Structure 1
Amino acid sequence: PSSSSATLSTQPGPTATAGQTWRDVCLQTIRNKYAGFQPRNDFDIFTLGTSKYRGPRAELGTWLDSKLAQHIQDTGSLEFVMEKARTLLAMSTDNVTGIKPTRGARNVFLRPIPNSAYSIRLFPGFFAAREYCIDFVHTETGVAVNSPFEFELWAVSNPSAPWLGSGSMRLYSLEDTFKHLMEGDETLPGDEKFVVRDGQTCLLKRPGQRDVRFTVPIRYDPTATAGTEPVDELQFPLPLCSKHGMGSCHVESGSLGDLSCLIHMIHDAVFVDCHLDGVACSL
């Protein structure tokens, strides 16, 4: 995963919860991949938690020793290498994008893909940079998979507010983007993930299937206006459908007879789909 604070890691799909450190994540990875192996120091913990070792288990210690020797040669000091490992392990995972969520984690959303056995999973990334991540999971099992079918993922303009613009751009997975920095070019099963931003509209294109469009939710940041000059705010009423006229539609949390209005927040505009007697009205 990558961090917007210039931190890059290539660990094979660890998971994390809010408030955890890299030490927690790396130890979890070691337990999952190298059951029974006891790390000897912080360098072992960080290296095994963030690298892809493909050799035989019997040579794991020798491989770690060679990695440590190389780092000492590059930096000139064992103490420096160990201190660097301790510092990195103490970092919070909250400012890192790309760590897969644990089962039951908050603010993780799944939406089934039509005509497919798979779902798109949306989970939080680095909040300060307004980053989310998406990946693909098997709908029945919830197991993450890599590119389960032929597709392209694009960032596009929101069709409900095309005047806001943004153009279109194809999105690539973090693994494809940073594969030149990773040890080997193999993406392990379930590692793949894509970075998207709050409010971004995406289009999933599949050969022979209708495109699938979705918009990433915008998270509220209570600190966004901290330290700014106080202002007076004006609130405009919600737009109402033209069929029923001004004043005949009321947006409430409950139902109003047979009338219900669905509010859609798109960027800074509010759109209301009014439904009366099962008939949709246009604004």
Structure 2
Amino acid sequence: MVDSIAAPLLRMSGITKHYGGVRALENADFDANRGTIHALLGENGAGKSTLIKVLSGVVQPDTGTISLDGTPIEFANPTEANNAGIACIFQELSLLPDLSVADNIGIGSPPGPFGLINYRAQRRLAEELLARVGGDGIHPSATVRELPLSRRQIVEIAKALARNPKLLILDEATSALTAADVEKVFTLLHKLREDGLAIIYISHRMHEIAELADMCTVFRNGRKVETFRAGTKSDNAIVEMMIGREYKSVFPPKTEKSPSLLPFSRFATFPGKTS
């Protein structure tokens, strides 16, 4: 991890977003630093997805400011966010199933002059990126529809890296991967962190957070609860921040019933009967 006192690459301040009468985000803050994997944690409905949608240009906030590299930014659509160096990998894939792997990877900025596609260069790009993300066995000419879901997710990650992002966002991006593929992605993320990328990682799997994250931020009810260095709080403490009450009140310890209170069973002995 790059440990720097410099200003964060990303700073989101006072972000508010309502959908009618529903509050998705309320005065929310979030920072992400270069060379850091920052875990974004919270229950479903905590505001994580809305925060990422605001950052990636999918939706616009009602109020608040965003700066990238110290420059204030506003995104009217995802293309503007991509052009600014923000790449998102969502659980729902954005691949076009009837196009080839190479076409999908290069679709954002196909190599070639004057807007023309250099198919040889596009294939080389796909091969390089697939090797980088652990997808060596995926043929660039294969149609995406032919690939199993775990292979498609690898292609999605390669597609995101084709944009040379400053900030990479993964929203439950390992949920469809095999254990072997997850290990390859983790190795890649560690390397990208060393290269100075800022990475935002969203997952409900605490063991993934423990293995990957440098920093963690917990959201609840559309607000930031706390940001802390990974490994400084127990899983139970993190869950309590996410749900807003003590862990034991949600998952109380099981009590063993006394044998005398157990309901009648085939092992019970009744008066006048012998077992």
Q: TM-score range by the shorter chain?
A: under 0.3
Higher helix share: 2
Q: Report the TM-score when normalising by structure 1.
A: 0.22
Q: Report the TM-score when normalising by structure 2.
A: 0.22
